[in-house]
Amino acid sequence: MKILVLNGSPKKKSDTFRMTDRFLKGLNQTQEHEVRIINVIEKKIAPCSGCFGCWQNMDGRCVIGDDQNGILDLYREADLILWSFPLYCYGMPSHLKALLDRTIPLLKMKMIQEEDGTVRHEALVDFSKKHTLVLCGCGFPDWEGNFDALRMQCRQCFGNLTMVCVPETPMLNVPAAAVVADPLLAAFEEAGEEYGRSLSLSPETIARLETPMIPKEAYIRIVNGI
C-alpha cells in the first residue's frame, strides 16, 4: 500500500507526529508499506488564487508553478493519505490548509447531487479506493467542542475517512508525563496494526485514543503552573 503522510506541524518531531510515528510503526507490523512523508512547512505552497485555470485545463495540475503539483502527483498515487497536524484555532494550520485548498485540480467544475441531497464537484480522479486518516492533537484538556469545526470540514472534504482527535498532546513530549503518555503511544501502535488489517478503526479504539490522559482539572493546574 502506498501511504502519503502530510505532516502539517511546523516541527518535524511534534507532539502530534509522535502519535503518527507510532501508528505507522504498528501499520507496518502487518506488512511493509511504501511510506512517503511530506513536511508541508518545508514546501513552497502559495494560497489558491481562485483563477480556476485548473478547471479550464482539466489536466489535474495547478497553474501555479510551486511544489503543489508534485504533491498532487503523490496524492493521486496514494492508497492512504494520512493528515497529521496540531489543532490551530479549531482547524488546520494555515500552510496545510493551503495544500488542501489547492487539491481542487483533482475535481471538475461539474456538480453532482448525491442521494442525501449534498451537492459536490465531480472527481477528476477515482477516489473510491483511497482512504483518508486524520490524526490531530491539541493542547486543550479535552476534545469535546474543540474539534467540532475540524470534524465537519474533514467529513465534507474526505471520503473513506477515519478521524482521531487527541487532547493534552503536549504531555507526549514531557518526560515526567511518560507514565501516562507511553501507554497512549503504545495504543497508537496497536491502532496502526488494527488499521493495517481492516483499513478502519473500531469506535472502541478511537474512544481509547481520544480519552484524555489525566483529568481536566489536573491538566489545567499543570499548564497554569498552579
Strands 119-123 and 80-86: unpaired
The pLDDT, as a whole number, for residue 128 is 87
**pLDDT one-digit tens code per residue, 194-218:** 999 999 999 999 999 999 999 999 9
Check: CB of residue 125 under 8 Å from CB of residue 60. yes
CA angle 170, 176, 178 (to 5 degrees): 75
pLDDT > 90? residue 93: yes
- In one letter, which amino acid is 93? P
* Mean pLDDT score, 171-176: 91
Check: CB of residue 139 under 8 Å from CB of residue 222. no
The partner residues of 134 in beta bridges, in order of sequence, read 83, 163
Question: 45, 40, 93, 48: which is closest to 66 by C-alpha?
Answer: 45
Question: 41, 46, 48, 43: which is closest to 86 by C-alpha?
Answer: 41
Count how many Cα atoms sit within 13 Å of the Cα of residue 111 in the half-sphere of its side chain: 5
pLDDT > 80? residue 12: no
- CATH assignment at residue 63: 3.40.50.360
Q: How far apart are CA 23 and CA 163, in angstroms?
A: 13
Q: Domain tally for the chain?
A: 1
* Mean pLDDT score, 126-142: 93
Domain carrying residue 77: 2-224
Q: How far apart are CA 167 and CA 29, in angstroms?
A: 26
pLDDT > 80? residue 13: no
- Cell numbers linked to 221: 493546574
Q: How far apart are CA 153 and CA 33, in angstroms?
A: 28
Question: 43, 19, 62: which is closest to 191 by C-alpha?
Answer: 19
* Mean pLDDT score, 58-65: 94
Q: How far apart are CA 14 and CA 23, in angstroms?
A: 14
Q: How far apart are CA 82 and CA 24, in angstroms?
A: 10
| Predicted confidence band of residue 143 (pLDDT cuts 50, 70, 90) | low
pLDDT > 90? residue 182: yes
Q: How far apart are CA 13 and CA 137, in angstroms?
A: 13
pLDDT > 90? residue 107: yes
pLDDT > 90? residue 30: no
Q: How far apart are CA 185 and CA 192, in angstroms?
A: 11
Please count the other Cβ atoms lying within 10 Å of the Cβ belonging to residue 65.
10
**pLDDT one-digit tens code per residue, 67-76:** 999 999 999 9
Check: CB of residue 104 under 8 Å from CB of residue 122. no
**pLDDT one-digit tens code per residue, 154-170:** 999 998 999 999 999 99
Strands 107-113 and 119-123: antiparallel
Q: How far apart are CA 48 and CA 63, in angstroms?
A: 10
What does pLDDT average to over the chain?
94
